[in-house]
Amino acid sequence: MIRKAKVFVSDNEAGALYELKFGSAYKFIYLENYIGLPASVTMPTTQRIYEFGTFPPFFDGLLPEGHQLEGLLKTGKIDRNDMFSQLIAVGDDLVGNVTVKEAFDYDSENDLTTGEDQS
């Protein structure tokens, strides 16, 4: 099952992160009409689509560690290896100007080719 999270930069929707295959296939796509700051310096807006064979390093760096991670896993009943769910759980309280929110309804085929949300 493909999962999608909307990514906001300074409260402006910038794009979406997709989990295509648990733990091994991810894609980040900037919205076609997005002209704001990049989500990360490692993902400039000069390129719209980024593909990853593991959980994207920028988003991994936003996840809690140590006691905070243990608390999140226990209270949220989240699998330690499910970094996408961890990101969704803490997405409103991240360091910096990026927020992440789970997207429930979307046209996955259109989203993954155009980067345009249909919900």
Average pLDDT over residues 34-43: 97
Residue 5 · residue 32 · CB < 8 Å: no
Q: What is the pTM of this model?
A: 0.88
Q: In this model, does residue 116 exceed pLDDT 60? A: no
Two tokens, residue 7: 């990514």
Q: Do 72 and 59 contact (CB within 8 A), yes or no?
A: no
Per-residue pLDDT of 19-35, as tens digits, reads 999 989 999 999 999 99
39 touches 58 (CB < 8 A): yes
- Give yes or no for a contact between 90 and 68, defined as CB atoms under 8 angstroms apart: no
Sign of CA dihedral 37, 39, 44, 47: negative
Spans of all domains in the chain: 3-102
Q: In this model, does residue 53 exceed pLDDT 90?
A: yes
β-strand partners of 20: none
By percentage, how much of the chain surpasses pLDDT 70? 87
Cα–Cα dist 39/85, whole Å: 19
**Binning pLDDT at 50, 70 and 90, where does residue 104 land?**
confident
Which structure tokens are listed for 55? 């959980």
pLDDT tens column, 63-89: 999 999 999 999 999 999 999 999 999
Return the pLDDT at 119.
42
